[in-house]
Amino acid sequence: MSSFSTSVSPLPPLTDHHIVVGCGSACLDFLAAVASYPKPDEKIRSTNFKVQGGGNAGNAFTCAARLGLKPRLITKVANDSQGKGILNELQADGVDTSYIVVSEEGNSPFTYIIVDNQTRTRTCIHTPGDPPMVPEDLTESNLFSALGGARLVYFDARLHETALVIGEEAKRRGIPILLDAEKKREGLDSLLNLSSYVVCSMAFPQAFTNAPSIATALVSMLLKLPNIKFAIVTLGEEGCIMLERNLTEDLPYEEIEVDDLLEKLKQKKDNNAIAPTCISSSAFMLRAKGIGTIGGRLLVGMAEKIPSSELVDTTGAGDAFIGAVLYAICENMPPEKMLPFAAQVAAIACRALGARTGLPYHGDLRLASFLR
């Protein structure tokens, strides 16, 4: 743990609207760092090893809890040593595990992760939990209790049948939903139709829309999904791109090609900047050739330039980013503050082995300038 993690800075207090509910993956990660990725049939030694909780939802909610939110996680584990470890670690970080289903039989989900120190990449081999979670595992009373007082709901698009039940009830109650769209999965379309916010991997928008570029794909996504307020595409060390819908589209905004606007924003980037920053456009009628137009604005977020000597492991960086976005939404941060803040949280997490080891706390001095 960084020495900064326990340092408390005079930050403004949290609002009262900080209960978040999520459904998705929580597992155990077996991480082995190696000097370089092994060749077939080769035997090598690890340079570092760690056993730690993982899974997209588990990681994102650990991040959210450390930042000060009150997450309630809905998932399923088995009553085995791995499941007990998963629960204990989440509880220690302040995640409410009272809605997690524990099966007396089967196995909890786990992942082998090989971290290549040479290429700074990680390779994951996942074993799903068995038996899998089904909607019948979640009682109506637990569903209603979990959503009570919730400011926001989050799905990682796994356990999609149970997530859909939760999402429909959240929609009925007017609770917004943030969806992690990592790749096309079974049931994802139904969850997208319920969502207010989407955070995507670099490949997802074009895979989902068949549009010729990321920018045009974002326009296509918001045209297909009228409930979406914003969509973010994470680009790793290249930062992120966000399209925010303009809710007053009847105003006479200037029309512009979305690809041209994105290029203009990129040209304004300060390539010498080390800390995360953000460049935003004015509101336009954004045109995507052959697709349509939508009122909105583009934002380009830059990632922190992490020195190679400090970059340890990118496992869970996207989950850390999402955990920070959950916090930002609950705290009503404008996008211009949210994107650099989320990038900073993700960068801090990349400085330690595993998805959770380096996750910062709310009082971390490295976050102070982003939270004032």
Confidence of residue 161 (pLDDT cuts 50, 70, 90): very high
Tens digits of residue pLDDT in 56-85: 999 999 999 999 999 999 999 999 999 999
Confidence of residue 11 (pLDDT cuts 50, 70, 90): low
Task: Say yes or no to pLDDT of 4 above 60.
Answer: no
Q: How far apart are CA 86 and CA 58, in angstroms?
A: 9
Peptide bond into 109 cis (omega under 30): no
The predicted pLDDT at position 269 comes to 87
The predicted pLDDT at position 16 comes to 56
Domain coverage including residue 128: 3-371
Per-residue pLDDT averaged across 321-331, rounded?
97
Q: How far apart are CA 296 and CA 247, in angstroms?
A: 8
Confidence of residue 249 (pLDDT cuts 50, 70, 90): low
Q: How many domains does the chain have?
A: 1
Confidence of residue 171 (pLDDT cuts 50, 70, 90): very high
The predicted pLDDT at position 5 comes to 40
Q: What CATH number should be reported for the domain holding residue 95?
A: 3.40.1190.20
Which residues contact residue 125 at a Cβ distance below 8 angstroms, ignoring those fewer than 6 apart?
Answer: 111, 112, 113
Per-residue pLDDT averaged across 331-338, rounded?
96
- Nearest alpha carbon to residue 197 among 345, 20, 15: 20
Bin 5: left if φ > 0, else alpha if -120 < ψ < 50, else beta. alpha
Tens digits of residue pLDDT in 293-322: 999 999 999 999 999 999 999 999 999 999
Task: Say yes or no to pLDDT of 365 above 90.
Answer: yes
